[in-house]
Structure 1
Amino acid sequence: MGMVSIEPGSYHVVPPQNPGEVIDLIRTHAIQVVDLRFTDLPGVWQHFSITLPEVNDDLFSVGIGFDGSSIRGFQEIHESDMLVRPDPATAFIDPYCAAPTLALICDVLDPVLHQPYSRDPRHIARKAELYLRQTGLATVCYLGPELEFFIFDSIRFGQDQHSGYYHVESAEGEWTSGRDEGAYGGGNLGYKQRYKGGYFPVPPSDTLQDIRSEIVLALMQAGIQVEVHHHEVATAGQNEIDMRFAPLMRMADNVMMYKYICKNVARRHGKVATFMPKPLFADNASGMHCHQSLWRDAENLFYDKNGWAQTSQMCRWYIGGLLSHAPALMAFCAPSTNSYKRLVPGYEAPVNLAMSQRNRSAAARIPMVSDSPSARRVEFRCPDPSANAYLAFSAMLLAGLDGIENQTDPGDPLDKNIYDLPPEEAARIRQVPGSLEESLCALEADSAFLRKGDVFTEDLITTWIDYKRTREIDTLKVRPHPWEFQLYFDI
């Protein structure tokens, strides 16, 4: 299993723009199978494959049917017929299928109304971009998420009526420093990542350099520009690969490809990648810090040479919107029960709803790595990679636009370590919710900003809340937790 190879000059693939160019791509690369992919409500790719005779004009105009009742968060069984319609601009050659396969990301359609399906996450992102242009404030919102993830050697977990457990294995893990690693017994290779010590030692401590490089090459082969990759802070294989910023919906598409490629490269090497935010106790978790800015054509509207941290008033109002709506935003940006094991003090997690420059302990910060006008942006640090990128990116944009519309003051900058503030001063700083349930309650109380431009429908919001409560929160409530036996068994 060697590295993915890339032809010179093929790093930045020009995607097809119409069905005819997709057909040309199929012929040029002797494609045998076409794979159609779409995103369910929680944010996981679903797919089915078609043969070449089915690739015709109707596929790109009318679409092709599937059973929507089997997809999480979609239709009931009595209204199950749905359509997917591929977007030609998303075509890429899948490097993990034995048969030459072209993958296409699809939009979901209602076959009765002949309109985009209101619960299709990609449709939400498209409406968010349209609403931005309709406001006249900007023409494009650029997103640059930093997805962190773990690559483990093994993961075992399970729970039934009488037992429950999980077990993580990683050759990098601090806990393996005393383990016998010799093929025939006797010995340990050392160089383990200490807890919170994974940023940035070179190999052999960093055992995942080549795997990350393989992921990067595969991403570039799929047409995604990558800027940097590195080991992250936690022990046991935490990683980060940063994609170059892109318009909102395109970046959400990229996130789906990113997750797919990371998981499949890891599997090729007999390992497993996870975007679960907090798989390890007592070490850093995985975030998805989201860099964002508004532009009018080639002009960055967040830049002002004379403003605080060289930001414009529009940028600061945008931040005000993010901070004021943050409790509701967390329902989409930190949407798992596990997310709130990350959002606790002491692990570089931004629990404090404050604005700062350079300071990573603030929820919203202004990176100061460049004086270039094009580099001025806000980094919102609360989201994590369990989020559905289409929904999370759209929700953040709408919160920011609401802040601009209402000229929301983000408060005074806090350019110091917020975790070290005196108790009386720290008590005045708002914090993110402490649980998914709190975030869902905040969303119920504060959703008007999401419904502007009909971007998020009332049906989508109520379906999301109901799904999270019944499928995730309630199922966790009724199951004993292993730590409860430590706390209470001898009471």
Structure 2
Amino acid sequence: MSAQNVLNTIKEKGIEWVDFRFVDLSGRAHHISLPASEVEEETFVNGVAFDGSSITGFKGIEESDMVMLPDTESVYVDPFTAHPTLIVMCNIYTPDGERYDRDPRGIAQKAEEYLQSAGVGTTAFFAPESEFFIFDEVRFESGQNKSSYFVDSEEAHWNSNKQEEGGNLGFKVGHKGGYVPVGPTDSQQDIRSEMCRLLMESGLRIERHHHEVATAGQGEINFRFDTLTKTADNLMKYKYIVQNTARQYGKVATFMPKPLFGDNGSGMHVHQSIFNGSEPLFYEKGGYANLSELALNYIGGILYHAPALIALTNPSTNSFKRLVPGYEAPVNLVFSKGNRSAAVRIPVAAVTPKGCRIEFRTPDSTANPYLAFAAMLMAGLDGIKKKIDPRALGYGPLDKNIYELSDAEKGEIRSVPGSLDEALNALEADYEFLTEGGVFTKEFIDNYIGLKRDEAKAVSIRIHPHEYSLYFDL
């Protein structure tokens, strides 16, 4: 879509405001709204100025001026604003016209450019399965003399004996009992359907939605794959619409990986493949799970670099509350066909040559999608470049339920890092694969690690309520 086509859309749809958006290092979107009457073709050339020093991890106050340049291919109408508003995703540039090396969206685009320059293929496709919880109430605080959180859901099993207005009608979702039940147990069919309606109106191709395993309103909506940057844009749109639809229903949606103790967490399984033109490069009939050697090398790169990669795909302290055995969490760095207990799964049911892909199951939705997808692609391309064979390195294939292996057998399997600090240590030691082609810079990685270490420290130095249960009476 050209700038003129965007202007035509503004006129045809009676748009009053144009909302220019960018994404920070953590993956949070920020926006500045201009009256539609002030948006001209020059706006798409000159961009929209903003203060980079007010964005965590960007610029210092002495060099704060930055520019958002709109991407005319990323527009959609905001389904929530009272005044008709058009949303436009932007790339970030310095005032002298240089691409800003800390712009996550720019990094994603550089990864796509590197794929082509490396001569491997023309296009990388991504499809995330981003799970979430819908709660009825959330309260939390963290102070000097108190620390607590509370979440509640009308369908949670702990409310089976709660007195409710009009009477308790039962049909609560049992502990780990939430996988695809029909109503009335699944009480959130309509809210997920409304989310899907708005997502489709906003340009996403929705494949399905359903209740997920955990109690208390865990759900999942799957949308169609697309190229790397477009998929990251789509995931930002997806989270925006899911969270705002929940709010319209008087509820709250969260993509936090582990908001509940003792039940399944929310992951973001990421399907990915590479094409050369119209030719799928991951398919080879007769190979393991019909995978080509190139695909196996891609898997080798993902698993070899996984400890460092996880600092970008699972970048929160809460991520590692999910990455523990026993909750379908893919903590074991192996690959397998159809096996959901492996970090890398190769889907085999009803898969065509063009649908042949790998699924990295470890990530979660606290990841900045632009950074996470770019990092996964760079790890996979490094595996292709170096012909990393995951079979030779002991990464499988392992077609068994890993959780049922003996302790001796489990001891042979490499696991994901046990904490955010461990993942950051791995990234410090293994980052060169990210800097190939100038996709990530060493300065960006150092800055990112510093920001994430501050987060980890902020959590580690605070008193946890459970410590009172363990130690107060000693």
* Distance across 1 between alignment mates of 2:175 and 2:376: 32
Q: Tell me what 2:460 maps to.
A: 477
Q: 1:39-188 residue pairs with structure 2 within 5 A?
A: 39-112=23-96, 114-183=97-166, 187-188=167-168
How far off its partner does 1:372 sit? Answer: 1.1
How far off its partner does 1:182 sit? Answer: 2.3
Pairing 1:353–2:333 present: yes
**Among 169, 184, 190, the residue aligned to 1:189:** 169
> Unaligned 5+ residue runs, structure 1?
1-16
Q: 1:224-303 residue pairs with structure 2 within 5 A?
A: 224-303=204-283
- Paired residue secondary structure (1:425): helix
- Paired residue secondary structure (1:408): coil
* Distance across 2 between alignment mates of 1:68 and 1:206: 44
State TM-score, norm by structure 1: 0.95
* Distance across 2 between alignment mates of 1:371 and 1:176: 41
Q: Tell me what 1:212 maps to.
A: 192
* Distance across 2 between alignment mates of 1:232 and 1:151: 11
Once the two structures are superposed, residues 270-325 of structure 1 have per-residue CA deviations (whole angstroms, 9 ceiling, x without a partner) of: 00000100000000000000000000111110000111110000000000000000
How far off its partner does 1:422 sit? Answer: 1.5
* Distance across 2 between alignment mates of 1:349 and 1:365: 12
Q: Tell me what 2:315 maps to.
A: 335
Once the two structures are superposed, residues 313-347 of structure 1 have per-residue CA deviations (whole angstroms, 9 ceiling, x without a partner) of: 00000000000000000000000000000000000
Q: Does the Cα contact within 8 Å between 2:77 and 2:87 map onto a contact in 1?
A: yes
How far off its partner does 1:72 sit? Answer: 1.7
Q: Tell me what 2:445 maps to.
A: 461
How far off its partner does 1:58 sit? Answer: 2.0
- Paired residue secondary structure (2:367): coil
Once the two structures are superposed, residues 202-247 of structure 1 have per-residue CA deviations (whole angstroms, 9 ceiling, x without a partner) of: 1111111011111111111111111010000000000000111100
How far off its partner does 1:160 sit? Answer: 0.8
Give the AA of the match of 1:26: I
Aligned length: 470
How far off its partner does 1:407 sit? Answer: 0.8
- Paired residue secondary structure (1:242): strand
How far off its partner does 1:71 sit? Answer: 0.9
Once the two structures are superposed, residues 238-273 of structure 1 have per-residue CA deviations (whole angstroms, 9 ceiling, x without a partner) of: 000011110000000000000000000000000000
* Distance across 2 between alignment mates of 1:180 and 1:371: 48
* Distance across 2 between alignment mates of 1:355 and 1:365: 6
Pairing 1:23–2:1 present: no
Q: Tell me what 1:487 maps to.
A: 470
* Distance across 1 between alignment mates of 2:332 and 2:249: 39
Once the two structures are superposed, residues 334-378 of structure 1 have per-residue CA deviations (whole angstroms, 9 ceiling, x without a partner) of: 000000000000000000000100100000010011241011100
- Paired residue secondary structure (1:461): helix
State TM-score, norm by structure 2: 0.98
Once the two structures are superposed, residues 112-144 of structure 1 have per-residue CA deviations (whole angstroms, 9 ceiling, x without a partner) of: 3x1111101000000000000001111000001
* Distance across 2 between alignment mates of 1:37 and 1:145: 21
How far off its partner does 1:53 sit? Answer: 3.1
> Unaligned 5+ residue runs, structure 2?
none
Once the two structures are superposed, residues 388-441 of structure 1 have per-residue CA deviations (whole angstroms, 9 ceiling, x without a partner) of: 000000000000000011111112310010111121111011000000000000
- Paired residue secondary structure (2:343): strand
Q: Tell me what 1:397 maps to.
A: 377
Give the AA of the match of 1:418: I
How far off its partner does 1:105 sit? Answer: 0.5
Once the two structures are superposed, residues 71-97 of structure 1 have per-residue CA deviations (whole angstroms, 9 ceiling, x without a partner) of: 121111111111101111111010100
Q: Tell me what 2:388 maps to.
A: 408
Runs of 4+ in 1 over 2 A off after TM superposition: none
